[in-house]
Amino acid sequence: MSTQPLLLVQLTDPHLFAEEDGRLLGLATTDSLQQVVELVGKEQPQIDLLLATGDLAQDGSLGAYQRFAQITAPLCANARWTAGNHDCLQTLQQACAETDRLEAVTDIGHWRIILLNSSVPNEAYGWLQDEQLTLLERALNEAPTRHCLIALHHHPVDVGCAWLSPISLRNADALFALLDRFTQVRVLLWGHVHQPFAQKRGKLHLLGSPSCCIQFAAQSEDFNVSVEAPGYRWLRLHQDGQIESGISRIDSAICHSIDLSGQGY
């Protein structure tokens, strides 16, 4: 087994449309994702796993999921996807048919990677159904000697934006009650918040990440778009359970088209 750290890349919230020229608050989301993926390709030549943590589509269309797969294909990385509140789970499953993209549990080296589905049909908030919590408990019970990273779409803790609180993971207490029983969990990773976030809960790293399209302004009471550029998160997972992680962003020139007066997405 290799002693080199694993390299994971998280792409989240690209909000693609059926139409290739679709725009979210003025930003062309296909172009934005393409630039982020090109940056990943330049900076991360060897990716052990690509995590796509929801809102891959803004409109839940098959065309959007097919385009996400096409744009990310040049990275030549094994990928795992999970759904966000803007996704259509049935269509996402159709797009992933005959692939392993929706496999919930992946073992690589000394680590176990677990993806959970926190989406609720026709709702913006998140909830982990009993079957998801059971899946998680079983996956952790079966891997007592592996370090574990868990990824989902919705944020389970307050990120400092009041308007995001009602659309967070609403049963986060159940998640943390389960995680507190397992000492091997090292990382809890999410999307949805369109901004970086990092906090520790004991030895557990809590990480939120920027979107591949528009960004939300940090510490905002009401919906507010930031002029920060789209980006991605990388994570190096060491065999002793230690992690390194960082954010990388594309050139901010793409942000000139964003409608900063938008009242929602």
Number of domains within the chain? 1
The pLDDT-based confidence of 2 (bands split at 50, 70, 90) is low
The pLDDT-based confidence of 201 (bands split at 50, 70, 90) is very high
Q: Which 3 state secondary structure label does DSSP give 211?
A: coil
**Which amino acid type is present at position 114?**
I
Tell the residue number behind the tokens 């087994």, with chain if given: 1
The pLDDT-based confidence of 1 (bands split at 50, 70, 90) is low
Contact 186, 178 (CB under 8 A): no
Give the CATH number of the domain where residue 178 resides. Answer: 3.60.21.10
Query: In the predicted model, what is the mean pLDDT of residues 22-51?
Result: 96
Task: Tell me whether residue 262 is in a domain.
Answer: no
Task: Tell me whether residue 209 is in a domain.
Answer: yes
Tell the residue number behind the tokens 């909000």, with chain if given: 15
Query: In the predicted model, what is the mean pLDDT of residues 39-43?
Result: 98
Domain residues for the domain of 146 are 6-257
Task: Tell me whether residue 140 is in a domain.
Answer: yes
Contacts of 243 (CB under 8 A, 6+ apart): 186, 187, 205, 235, 236, 237
Task: Tell me whether residue 155 is in a domain.
Answer: yes
**Which amino acid type is present at position 150?**
I
